Every structure is written in C-alpha cells, then in structure tokens.
Structure 1
Amino acid sequence: MHLYEHHISTKKAQQMSKITNMIREDIEKSGVSDGIVVVYSPHTTAGFTINENADPDVVHDMLCGFEKAFPTKTGYYQHMEGNSHAHIKTTCVGPSQTLILNQGELILGIWQDVYFCEFDGPRNRRFYVKIIEG
C-alpha cells in the first residue's frame, strides 16, 4: 500500500480545486495498476467531490447552491468560530472519495474530475492519497 501527503493553499473563502492530476502522479509513482484509490481530508471544513470538469460554471453554481442551502451568515448558528456553514457543507460532500484504478487509469467519466472543496478559507491544507493494490 502506498500513502502520499499533499499540501494545498486555498485563496478564497470557498473554492473547489481540481486535484485529479495530483492523484494520477501518485498512481504513476506507486507503480500500482489495479486497485482502489482513496483521497482523504483530515479537516472538518474541507472535503472532496467528483463532478464536471468541462464548464467552470458548474463549480460556480455548486458553490452558490451550497451557500443558498447553508448560508455563511445566519442568526441561528451557535458555534463560536463562526464557520458552522463550512462544517455542514463538508458533511454533505464528505471528507473522502474512493476511486477505482484499472490498468493504471482512474475510472472517471469523460467530464469528471476530483475536486478538493474548501469551505473555510483561505487556508493551508493537506490531504492524503492512499493507493491499495488489488
């Protein structure tokens, strides 16, 4: 099994950053051709999603949708840090994603990428990629 640690600096309060190529580089380094790839964030206000990579408006619309569903500022959050919205958004996308690795390639749809989702930035973050052969 192979474990890789990555560092990512986010520039905005909320953003989605493509990390698929980082994962592909890890796969190449590992030499594994078949198995499972898990990406994991140890942060409670950042996570991952797999979604469209062709039209940047999709990322914009997703962030707007998250904001509408879980607004940054409301009168009912009680968490003292003021980032309850980020905790809720991360709960929705999840702290990890599991991908299938087949013949050295990630199985993703033609329009899909893996995104690191920042909901409480800007920050310096880290995430892990675990490649399990099998």
Structure 2
Amino acid sequence: MPTQTAPLLHQQILTVQTQGKTLHDITRQVEQVVADSGIVTGLCVVFVCHTSASLIIQENADPDVLRDLNHFFAKLVPEDGRSYIHSAEGPDDMPAHIRSAITKTSENIPISNGRLVLGTWQGLYLWEHRQRSHRRQIVIHNSGLGRT
C-alpha cells in the first residue's frame, strides 16, 4: 500500500455561470478538482470571490429544503426597495450583500482517501443572491498529503 507522505498544495479557480437567484450544486465540480489534485488526506477550502453570493453545505436529497431556504431568506431579507440606503445597483443588491454576510463566503471540507468528506445527504452549493445571472469565481485550495 502506498504511503501518504508527499505534501501537496493545489489551487484552481472554478467559474460558475449562475441563472439568477437560486442555489447551484457545485459538489461534483469541486470533487473533480480534489481528484485532480492528487491529495489523499487533507483539507479543501472553497472560497467565493463575491459579496453578493455565498457558499453553503446543505441537504442534496430533497429539493424542498432548497426552496424553503430561499423562501425563508426572502422573508428575512426583503427586496422591497425601501429598507436600504445602498440602492445604486438595484433593489436586489443590498439584500444580496446582507444574505452573503449572514451565510458564508467559504467552506472547509476534509479530504480522506482522495475524496471530499461530506455526509450522505450533504452537497456544496453556490447561492446566487442577485436576480440576474452572473459569472462567479470560486477558488478551490487543497492542501494535504499525496501518495508517494
């Protein structure tokens, strides 16, 4: 059996074209980056380079969970156009910044046996908080030990 002793760093930028305000499952894309890295045991850091989108780990089995999250955030952070001072980029911009601030811009996921360690029903999502589509940049940074 090969030993895991070679320290490795691997970084890749993933570009995701969103389709407006929704959750985009990026699990398989990130898993492919991890597989390509050669890292067997380590840590995968995923970071979105934007202030109006975020990352979450959430259930991937029942799409009602994602719909309920969107519905909850719509009530929590309304896009009424009257509640915010910052409105230069439209009525959905400041609510998008707030949604991003109360969720996360990064996730840390362990790597074991060359794969992301996610629970059975967990997936990694890019959450677009703006109404229109955007090209979002996601940095995936893997570090750990590879096979020698």
Q: 1:51, CA displacement in angstroms?
A: 0.4
Could you tell me how far apart the structure 1 residues matched to 2:79 and 2:117 are? 34
| Structure 2: runs of 5+ lacking an equivalent | 1-8
The answer (yes or no) to whether the contact 2:23–2:127 under 8 Å persists in 1 is yes
Please say which of residues 94-103 and 74-83 is displaced more in the overlay. Answer: 74-83
Give the alignment partner of residue 22 of structure 2, picking from 15, 21, 29: 15
8 Å CA contact 2:15, 2:137 repeated in 1: yes
TM-score, normalising length from structure 1? 0.94
Note if contact 2:13-2:140 (Cα within 8 Å) is conserved in structure 1: yes
**Per-residue deviation, 1:76:** 2.0
Amino acid at match of 1:106: L
Structure 1 segments unaligned to the other structure (5+ residues): none
Q: 1:34-66: per-residue Cα shift (whole Å, max 9, x none)?
A: 111011011000110000000111111101111
TM-score of the superposed pair, with normalisation by structure 2: 0.86
Which structure would you say has the larger Rg?
Answer: 2
Tell me how far apart the structure 2 counterparts of residues 109 and 30 of structure 1 sit (CA, whole Å). Answer: 21
Give the distance between the partners of 1:105 and 1:10, measured in 2 at CA: 25
Partner Cα distance (1:92, 1:132) in 2: 27
Q: Any residues of structure 2 matched to 1:1-134 within 5 Å, and which?
A: 1-12=9-20, 14-79=21-86, 80-82=88-90, 83-120=93-130, 121-134=132-145
Amino-acid identity (%)? 31
Q: Which runs of 4+ in 1 moved over 6 A?
A: none
The Cα RMSD (Å) is 1.1
- Which is strand-richer, 1 or 2? 2
